[in-house]
């Protein structure tokens, strides 16, 4: 395989994958995205306020999501985010990259002849 993995982008890509995947289901405001990610991951992933909103701002600047303010007549004005076409294409791309990454890590963890089982810790 000619592709290489840039470990410095891991957290950024995971965060993008989580946010864009949530928005692929439906438009949401920031707090809804945080809840969706937490719920779908069984609590494994949790966005803090100071983490999520800079990600949303960057994705919006990059044209991957759109943010529109809701009408205050419907309650407190909130910015609702939706995935753009470019965002859908990017989500597909990084989901493929994630598949490659996880398959490479899984292959690396498989024991070779005479090696201990890495996954189970067996000797």
pLDDT digits (tens, 9 = 90+) for 22-38: 999 999 999 999 999 99
DSSP sequence for 65-117: EEEEEPPGGGSS--EEEEE-HHHHHHHHHHHHHHHHHHHHHHHHHSPPTT---
The answer to whether the CB of 37 falls within 8 A of the CB of 104 is: no
pLDDT averaged over every residue in the chain: 87
Residue with tokens 């490659």: 100
The answer to whether the CB of 17 falls within 8 A of the CB of 98 is: yes
Strand partners, 83: 65
pTM over 0.75: yes
Look up residue 78 and give its two tokens.
Answer: 């909130």
Alpha-carbon dihedral 63, 58, 22, 8, rounded to 10 degrees: 120
Residue 54: half-sphere exposure toward Cβ, Cα within 13 Å: 7
pLDDT digits (tens, 9 = 90+) for 51-77: 999 999 999 999 999 999 987 776 788
Structural domains in the chain? 8-98 (1.10.10.10)
pLDDT-based confidence at residue 121 (cuts at 50, 70, 90): low
pLDDT digits (tens, 9 = 90+) for 73-93: 767 888 999 999 999 999 999
């Amino acid at each position: 395989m000619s592709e290489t993995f840039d470990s410095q982008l891991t957290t950024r890509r995971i965060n993008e994958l989580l946010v864009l995947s949530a928005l692929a289901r439906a438009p949401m405001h920031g707090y809804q995205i945080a809840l969706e990610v937490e719920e779908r991951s069984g609590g494994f992933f949790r966005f803090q306020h100071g983490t999520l909103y800079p990600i949303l701002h960057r994705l919006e600047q990059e044209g991957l999501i759109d943010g529109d303010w809701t009408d205050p007549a419907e309650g407190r004005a909130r910015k609702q985010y939706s995935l753009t076409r470019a965002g859908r294409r990017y989500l597909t791309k990084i989901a493929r990259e994630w598949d490659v990454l996880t398959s490479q890590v899984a292959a690396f963890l498989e024991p070779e002849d005479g090696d201990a089982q890495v996954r189970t810790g067996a000797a």
